[in-house]
Structure 1
Amino acid sequence: MSTIPEIVSYLKYGREVLFDAIKGLSYRELTEEEIYEGWTIKDVLAHIIGWDEQVIKNLEFIKAGQADKVNNPDAYEHNHDSLEAWHDTSWNSVLAAVHHSYEQIIYFINAMDYADIDRRFERQGRPFTIRSYIIETMVEHIRQHSAEIELWREALHEDIDAASLIMTLKQRRAKFMAVLDTFEEEELIEKHAVGHWSISDMVGHIVDWEQRMLQAARHIFDPSLPKVPAVDEPGLDWNEILVARRAKKSWAENHHDLLETQIAVDNFLIDLTPGDWKLRGPYPWPDDQGSLAQLIIAIGEHYDDHLPDLQQWHIHKHGTAPENSTHSSG
């Protein structure tokens, strides 16, 4: 790197590595999934913003002839402050800030004489250069975090145990169905069992979402099949809309639809190869995508989400929790 444009290109390379590492990830994966303990990708970017801002301060000191004020703050406190500063900020704002801080750094570098890049400055009696202390350190720092993200993405695939995922799905489903079978039909159609829904309404809700997830899974497996439109119209409660569409269905019809959908899911899973579970595509809710494996996990988790509703209704109607059912009143 013997010219300013070459240095700028090197800095650009560092950012491109970072953005390549997060390319194709969903909003959920960027903001909710921890890539290591306590840190999401959003947190990593907030951390990078914090250090970018420190680089900008240091470049300002150097430009003002005050290189002795160049500071390297306590890493723990600095990281904590950076994450806190962006904790309640949207992903788009964090992403924009990462681009902005990079542009500010490029602005400073472009305005420098090349001779200043390797000029020896001193801070607290210790020599440093912009090349070694700022440019090389900054790019290496970003490459390190990019590599961590890549390793996390690889681990997502390596950790897929198809047999275990199928078993977990069936166990969650069986636990739900076992409690469901303890009710008489009149208890299943009585309103206000789950909010203003009946248990039959809730089962219809599970059916509708499982069918949507199955359709999304089929599209991920075979992109030539229709994509499931995400239910993202603002101001609409799609759970209520879907339940309303089933208003005239009897308990027997909702129960039949549930069993039929479960069989369809099982038949779909039978033909999957180990590589298929790693396929990625859109999910049937807004701004999310991910692996086929994670979508199948979501099908099972939906039963777990509503199991407490069944347990609570059983207690209300029978005075006790259903047998072989773990109930928490908390």
Structure 2
Amino acid sequence: MTEQIAKTELLRRMQDGYEQFTALLATLSEEQLTTPHVNGKWSIKDNIAHLSAWQKRVIAVLAAIHNKETTLPNPTPGLSEDEINELYYQANKERSLSDIQNEFATVYQQIKGAVELLSEEELNMPLPQWKDQPVWPNIAGNTFEHYQEHTQIIQNWLASQQV
């Protein structure tokens, strides 16, 4: 069984992860943020849009849990993770850097607020739709763990530019 987490600990990890990721982004130029092929065809801007898109999915799920809905939203049924990522990339690739950055800040506040609305019991309850995994690992995987994954991608790309 997956470990339990205190809501305060989850929120702390989310905040720490967000601050570390945005601190990295703040050191980068607009050119660095918009240069393609950081990972695949994506720029750092595309990575940021990707993070926001996945957090929006979690926000919808958390709202459903908060509202005691029995069916959790899935805006992309039947699509693989790679197909979903491509869909989000196509939807966001032409958006401006400032729009993507503003959305990321807004969506982070929304996911933080959605977590704050849930009880510790709700965060730790197993969901049949997720093979009885609790809610919180999905939040972690789409916030601080996801930020760390993309921090590593960005750092690897930056290191490759130094050669």
Bucket of the pairwise TM-score, normalised by the shorter protein: 0.7 to 0.9
Letter of the structure 1 residue corresponding to residue 133 of structure 2: G
Return the offset for 1:195: 1.6
What SS class does the counterpart of residue 120 from structure 2 fall into?
coil
Letter of the structure 1 residue corresponding to residue 20 of structure 2: K
Count of residue correspondences: 161
The C-alpha deviation readout for 1:201-255, integer Å capped at 9, x for no partner, is 1111111011111211222232338732254336972211111011220111111
User: Of residues 279, 284, 292 in structure 1, which corresponds to 2:135?
Assistant: 292
**Contact preservation (8 Å) 1:280, 1:292:** yes
Instruction: Report the CA distance shift for 1:234/1:179 in structure 2 as closer, same or farther (over 3 A).
Output: closer
Tell me how large the CA RMSD over aligned residues is: 2.6
**Contact preservation (8 Å) 1:220, 1:281:** no
Q: Who is 2:6 aligned against?
A: 161
Q: What CA distance in whole angstroms lies between the structure 1 residues aligned with 2:14 and 2:81?
A: 32
Letter of the structure 1 residue corresponding to residue 116 of structure 2: I
1:246 aligns with 2:92: yes
Letter of the structure 1 residue corresponding to residue 73 of structure 2: V
Q: What CA distance in whole angstroms lies between the structure 1 residues aligned with 2:122 and 2:80?
A: 33
Q: Who is 2:54 aligned against?
A: 209
Q: Who is 1:304 aligned against?
A: 148
Unaligned 5+ segments in structure 2 are none
**Contact preservation (8 Å) 1:160, 1:293:** yes
Instruction: Report the CA distance shift for 1:231/1:200 in structure 2 as closer, same or farther (over 3 A).
Output: farther
Q: What CA distance in whole angstroms lies between the structure 2 residues aligned with 1:197 and 1:208?
A: 14
Q: Who is 1:185 aligned against?
A: 30
Q: What CA distance in whole angstroms lies between the structure 1 residues aligned with 2:81 and 2:57?
A: 20
Letter of the structure 1 residue corresponding to residue 158 of structure 2: H
Q: What CA distance in whole angstroms lies between the structure 2 residues aligned with 1:170 and 1:178?
A: 12
User: Of residues 233, 236, 254 in structure 1, which corresponds to 2:79?
Assistant: 233
What SS class does the counterpart of residue 169 from structure 1 fall into?
helix
User: Of residues 85, 102, 107 in structure 2, which corresponds to 1:256?
Assistant: 102
**Contact preservation (8 Å) 2:35, 2:43:** yes
**Contact preservation (8 Å) 1:188, 1:198:** yes
Q: Who is 1:267 aligned against?
A: 113
Highest relative contact order (Cα 8 Å, sep 6+), 1 or 2?
Answer: 2
Unaligned 5+ segments in structure 1 are 1-151, 321-330
Instruction: Report the CA distance shift for 1:289/1:209 in structure 2 as closer, same or farther (over 3 A).
Output: farther
**Contact preservation (8 Å) 1:207, 1:258:** yes
1:278 aligns with 2:124: yes
Q: Who is 1:173 aligned against?
A: 18
TM-score after normalising by structure 1: 0.44
Instruction: Report the CA distance shift for 1:195/1:277 in structure 2 as closer, same or farther (over 3 A).
Output: same
Return the offset for 1:282: 6.5
Return the offset for 1:289: 5.4
When Rg is computed on C-alpha atoms for both structures, the one with the higher figure is 1
Letter of the structure 2 residue corresponding to residue 222 of structure 1: N
The C-alpha deviation readout for 1:94-135, integer Å capped at 9, x for no partner, is xxxxxxxxxxxxxxxxxxxxxxxxxxxxxxxxxxxxxxxxxx
Instruction: Report the CA distance shift for 1:236/1:174 in structure 2 as closer, same or farther (over 3 A).
Output: closer
What SS class does the counterpart of residue 275 from structure 1 fall into?
helix
Q: What CA distance in whole angstroms lies between the structure 2 residues aligned with 1:244 and 1:309?
A: 20
The C-alpha deviation readout for 1:296-321, integer Å capped at 9, x for no partner, is 2222211111111111232234x39x
The percent identity for this pair of structures is: 19
TM-score after normalising by structure 2: 0.84
What SS class does the counterpart of residue 127 from structure 2 fall into?
strand
Q: What CA distance in whole angstroms lies between the structure 1 residues aligned with 2:81 and 2:152?
A: 27
1:196 aligns with 2:41: yes
